[in-house]
Structure formats: structure tokens, C-alpha cells
Amino acid sequence: PAPAGLPGEPDPEEAVSDDSSRHGGRVRGFPHERGNWATHVYLPYIAQEEFLELLELLVSRARSYVPSLAAMEEFHLSLSQCVVLRYHWIEPFVRSLRERLAAFHRFFCVADQVKVYTNQNKTRTFIGLEVSAGHFQLLELVSEVDGVLEEFDLPTFYKDPSFHISLAWCVGDLSGRLEGPCLRELQDIVDGFEESAFLLRIQWEQIRCKSGNKYFSFPLR
């Protein structure tokens, strides 16, 4: 999963503090350097009121196992890892993305399988909804995004990705507490939620790239 609250810079020459206490205890995946912009490509998900009701049920139940769990405030499905772009690379990077993604059409996927994740350095744990249908279309998108990343000699996406929408997170590796009985209870809530079949069948309409504090949108046809 991409980090919650990706670090960014208001200005390419302005230094940024690495005080983790300002970010709920989150730790950067890489050290900040002036002129480096954290960059991430993803599909944005706009939460409906019913989705937030489901989220509240899930987080409330999961907090009986991990009290420090916090609900996500924004939702997305990642198509890249969080990578580092130099400031002068942003414009050509976005231009290349736009060219490669121009031919893609809108599509549906289903994200209805509760799963627990940790980030690569095990500093955070996430509860997410994994995609159970629409995997092929997502792999096609990732292939094009990977092509752009390779142009700039940046890390590509995971080889066998588990596409998902993160719902909640906590600091540290607490996956052991959330898996097993907790995970089964959360899946029961999703399966029994009245609106889940409608809510969790998602039509993707645009791709976004976030680089520092800049956002770029790529509408699907």
C-alpha cells in the first residue's frame, strides 16, 4: 500500500522537517532531500455515505483487537509504489504517463475481500479491501505505468500485486492481532452489509498522479 499522507514539498527549494510526531508516528520510506518529490500513481475512490457507514463498522470492530487503528481519510487503489522524482523530471514524467494511458477506457472492478497488509519496512499495518474481479484491467494499467517508471530508472510495481483499497492503518507491524478471528469478523461484516454488493463494485473513471503537493489527472475514455 502507498503511504497515508505522502510527503511533499510546497517549493522545490524549501526544506521539509522529518518529525514523525507531526504525521501520527508515520516514518518516511526514504530520507527527504531538497528537490526530491515523492510520487505515486493511483486510481482515486470517492467514498459514498454508505461506504463510510461500512468503514465505521469495520474500524469499530477492528479496534477491539488494535485500539490504535485509524480510519483512512481518503481512498485509492495504487498503480505504483511511492517513488522519488527530481523536480525537473515531473513534467516529462506526467507527459509520458498521459501518452501511455490515453487509450484506456473506464472499467469496473469488485473490491470485497478484507485483507491485512504491512508496508515494506514493517512500520505500518493496514486493513484493506482486495480486488476480486477486474484484476486483468488493473494489470494492463500497471504495465503502462511501469513502462514510464522504467524510462526514468525508477522502481516498478510489485511483481504479483494484491490490488486493494486501504481502509485503516496503525503504526508498527500488528498484523498478527488483525489476522485470524478479527479478519473473519471483518469479512462477515462486509458480506452481511446491505449495500456491499453495490458499493464495492467500483467504476474507475480517472487515474491520478500525486507528486509532492501537485496532482495530475488522466481521465479514462
Give the cell for residue 150.
522504467
**Residue 15 has what pLDDT?**
36
Alpha carbon distance 218, 131 (integer Å): 22
Q: Which residues contact 175 (CB under 8 A, 6 or more apart)?
A: 116, 117, 118, 125
Cell of 77: 487503489
Round to whole Å and give the CA distance between 37 and 34: 8
Catalytic residue (one of 23, 40, 76, 105): 76
Nearest 10 degrees: Cα torsion 59, 63, 65, 70: 80
- Per-residue model confidence as pLDDT tens digits over 145-159: 999 999 999 999 999
Domain at 34-219: CATH code: 3.90.1140.10
**Catalytic status, residue 32:** no
Please state, in angstroms and as integers, the Cα–Cα distance from residue 186 to each residue in 73, 91, 111, 169, following that order: 19, 42, 14, 15
Query: Of residues 23, 105, 135, 164, which has the active-site annotation?
Result: 164
Q: Which long-range contacts (CB under 8 A, 24 or more apart) does 31-36 make?
A: 32/7, 35/86, 35/87, 36/84, 36/85, 36/86, 36/87
Residues of the chain under the 50 pLDDT cut: 1-23, 28
The grid coordinates of residue 88 equal 525537473
Given a contact cutoff of 8 angstroms between Cβ atoms, the answer to whether 44 and 208 are in contact is yes
Q: How many helices (H) and strands (E) does the chain have?
A: 6, 10
Query: Around Cβ 179, how many Cβ atoms within 10 Å?
Result: 14
Q: How far is CA 146 from the centre of its chain?
A: 16
In this prediction, residue 31 carries a pLDDT of 55
* pLDDT in the model for residue 14: 36
Q: Annotated catalytic, 76?
A: yes
Which tens digits make up the pLDDT trace of 53-99? Answer: 999 999 999 999 999 999 999 999 999 999 999 999 999 999 999 99
Cell triple for residue 221?
475514455
What is the structure's pLDDT at 29? 52
Whether residue 189 contacts residue 61, with contact meaning beta carbons closer than 8 Å, is answered with yes
> pLDDT value at position 35?
85
Residue given cell 470517492 in the structure block: 46
